[in-house]
Amino acid sequence: MSDRDAEIDRLASGAASGDAVALGQLLPLIEVDVLRIATKFLPNRFDAEEAAQDALLAVSRHIDEFDGRARFTTWLYRITANRSIDTYRRLRREWERSAGVLPADLPADRRTSVQAGTTIDLLEATRIVDDKFCEPVLLRDFCGMSYAEISIELGIAEGTVASRISEGRSRLQRVIDRW
């Protein structure tokens, strides 16, 4: 664990215990990470920034729910992913209400956030497939964690990580294929 990660975990624990100063120091420290995660889900920077701001607000409002059983970064990832999904759904509803016609002057990458849903489809599928299979897939494919890091994060053997990733990808693909 890097010094930065240790500092984030320390501040998160303090903030979860009600330390407003720790929360004030934590939010600017994680802002770049939150935006990086949101950008993986929403290709348009503006949309990703909107989701990131929503995620940071959710962190500040719900930090007391962080219990420290998992690393803070895992908890943060979930919040950011959920806020990204919410942003995507809102954009999609707006697009559908406009009869699927996007204004011609809307930048192409902004249209991409509304029309491209493969990442969001994957996240939607994770709501159906058992978490024990989804979490290793998300940690590997979206957070870029190694099998060893996932093993430590989840407290399971590396071989189990590998088999859960394989099974998780298979289950997720079957759900997506049904849509």
Whether residues 121 and 93 fall in one domain: no
List the domain range (segments joined by +) for residue 135: 117-179
3-class SS at 82? helix
- Rounded to the nearest angstrom, the gap between the alpha carbon of residue 7 and the centroid of all alpha carbons in its chain is 21
Residue 126 confidence class, pLDDT cut points 50, 70, 90: confident
Q: What total of structural domains would you count in the chain?
A: 2
Whether residues 109 and 136 fall in one domain: no
Boundary (domain end) residue, out of 68, 87, 115? 115
* pTM across the whole model: 0.68
Whether residues 5 and 93 fall in one domain: yes
Q: State the Cα–Cα distance between residues 160 and 61, nearest whole angstrom.
A: 35
Residue 86 confidence class, pLDDT cut points 50, 70, 90: confident
Residue 76 confidence class, pLDDT cut points 50, 70, 90: very high
Q: State the Cα–Cα distance between residues 14 and 3, nearest whole angstrom.
A: 16
Most confident among 47-51, 116-120, 151-155 (mean pLDDT): 47-51
How far apart, in Å, are the Cα atoms of 115 and each of 47, 92, 120, 137?
13, 7, 11, 24
Structure tokens at 117: 């849903």
Q: What percent of the chain has pLDDT over 70?
A: 87
Tracing tokens 């990660």 back to the chain, one arrives at: 5
What's the pLDDT at 18?
95
Whether residues 105 and 130 fall in one domain: no
Mean pLDDT of the chain: 84
Per the CB < 8 A criterion, the answer to whether 42 and 87 are in contact is: yes
What's the pLDDT at 107?
45
Whether residues 82 and 143 fall in one domain: no
